[in-house]
Chains A and B, each alone.
Chain A
């Protein structure tokens, strides 16, 4: 009896961990996938913005003395950096073909990496969770850090908000229409470039938000961007490029596979994700929820 109870709470714990990881992946992949869907643009530097979010968040928390200010302002700064990138590089690269886009944004990863090294140094930096969230909550027979629950809630809120905007508002309909058929959207009078820019900025802000939110759990390191880039790309590909539902589904799948894989079959866990990726690509080359027919 004692053992069963132990077991159940162990699995609840793992589920929450998976959910929390999935939410981080979601915050990153949703921006990447919507940007890809709209701009047909692969921004490998998206995860660098996540890293910048974490570092900027740490500095801002030190500056303002409040985690909450950091959580609010860092994404806005990252959005500003994204807007700068858009005007200097990305707008010009839009018609340059995928190979050039990959090369340039791959190069950007190293630029940001070095900038962070210069600005913050090479050692991992921590960020303390805000006092209100630094304890643990006791429920369902487990103790779980309240900050991790906060991340789950934050991801869920962003998910619900994005779903509402995309599914229920005029601007959401404009975005879905432009993802599906850019030319026809423009023929209906939609300023597609402005819409793209807006969406790009929001995607960057979400990457920054993910970075600040992750800092108290994972610490900020110069490799954090590169580490999360691969799973994020996998989420985007298996979910379906350009699809919000795909990003949700993909994040949950990869989050759970990663956490449960590590528990159940530690020696295969790394392989598991790639096997899934290959299987999805064979079975549904456009992803589980394709945005375009």
Chain B
């Protein structure tokens, strides 16, 4: 479904990603873990086209998307929930959702399970009372819910999540975990970046570890639990 081959990327003069290889299979949840500053967010930004691919190829559904602008990648069905959530504060919750829905209707070759506003509210009932509030007024947890709901309004073929648990209270993390597990059961392909090993292993079919701008380990959650050396090398704090 998504494949990175020898991808190089960075900011301005600085190169952050070197020779990144990653493969996400259709219907899988693939988690990428790694220390602060390892380059996880940089990789996601490169996948969605916010940062240019300097070297290598990004393929999505067999098609080379390395040179497509971000909006066209979104149209192919890549939805992104950034680390900072990036809810539009000047727009109401409803408008945030509607904006994403513009992409959904044709649904050709895309996930037929994209949501409409009612389904977002079924999934995140807390947002119902907030529909007409502006994005500025949401709590951190509500922003995260809206960011996920907004991404699902795009009827994505691939849902990319950057640290969805960051800064949330344990109870909320558990709630988001449940919600994402429910999404997984719907066969939606998810690429998840996480710091929280428990959260990632509860959800992921496959795990990759990232260190210093490269994928340094790849396997299942069970294999990672046994591989204490990899944990110590690439995750330990």
Contacts and interface: CB of A to CB of B under 8 A. Distances in A.
Interface of A: 170, 173-174, 176-177, 179-181, 183-192, 291, 293
Nearest to A191: B71
Given A173-B95, A173-B98, A177-B99, A186 B88 contact: no
Interface in B86-125: 86, 88-91, 95, 98-100, 102-103
B98 A188 contact: no
B92 to A, nearest CB: 9
A184 B82 CA distance: 9
B134 to A, nearest CB: 11
Interface of B: 48-50, 69-71, 74-75, 80, 82, 86, 88-91, 95, 98-100, 102-103, 136, 150, 154
A194 to B, nearest CB: 9
A189 B86 contact: no
A191 B150 CA distance: 18
B70 A183 contact: yes
Contact of B99 (A173, A179, A191, A192): A173
A184 B50 CA distance: 9
What are the 9 tightest A-B residue pairs by CB atom distance, in nearest-first order?
A189-B74, A186-B70, A184-B86, A189-B103, A177-B88, A187-B80, A173-B95, A186-B71, A191-B71
A180 B90 contact: yes
A190 B75 CA distance: 9
A63 B23 CA distance: 66
B75 A189 contact: yes
> Which of B50, B80, B99, B150 gathers most chain A CB within 10 Å?
B99
A44 to B, nearest CB: 27
B71 A180 contact: no
B100 A176 contact: no
Given A170-B98, A174-B99, A189 B88 contact: no
B225 to A, nearest CB: 34
Contacts of B69: 186
A174 B70 CA distance: 15
A170 B88 contact: no
A292 B13 CA distance: 28
Nearest to A193: B69
23 contacts: A170-B99, A170-B102, A174-B99, A176-B90, A176-B91, A177-B95, A180-B88, A183-B50, A184-B82, A184-B88, A185-B99, A186-B49, A186-B69, A186-B70, A186-B71, A187-B71, A187-B82, A188-B103, A188-B154, A189-B103, A190-B71, A192-B71, A293-B89
B89 A188 contact: no
Nearest to A194: B71
B91 A187 contact: no
Contacts of B90: 176-177, 179-180, 291
Nearest to B160: A187
Contact of A188 (B49, B74, B136): B74
A188 B91 contact: no
A174 B154 CA distance: 15
Contacts of B89: 180, 293
Nearest to A188: B100
A185 B154 CA distance: 13
B156 to A, nearest CB: 10
Given A177-B91, A181-B88, A184-B88, A189 B154 contact: yes
Nearest to B96: A177
> Which of A180, A184, A190 gathers most chain B CB within 10 Å?
A184
A264 to B, nearest CB: 37
B50 A188 contact: no
> Which of B69, B71, B100 gathers most chain A CB within 10 Å?
B71
A190 B102 CA distance: 9
Contacts of B75: 189
A114 B95 CA distance: 47
A12 B10 CA distance: 61
B160 to A, nearest CB: 9
B4 to A, nearest CB: 18
B73 to A, nearest CB: 8
Contacts of A184: 82, 86, 88
Contacts of B74: 186-189
Given A184-B88, A188-B99, 13 more contacts: A174-B99, A177-B99, A181-B88, A183-B50, A183-B86, A184-B82, A187-B71, A187-B80, A188-B100, A189-B74, A189-B103, A190-B102, A191-B71
B81 to A, nearest CB: 9
Nearest to A293: B89
Contacts of A188: 71, 74, 99-100, 102-103, 150, 154
A293 B49 CA distance: 25
A183 to B, nearest CB: 5
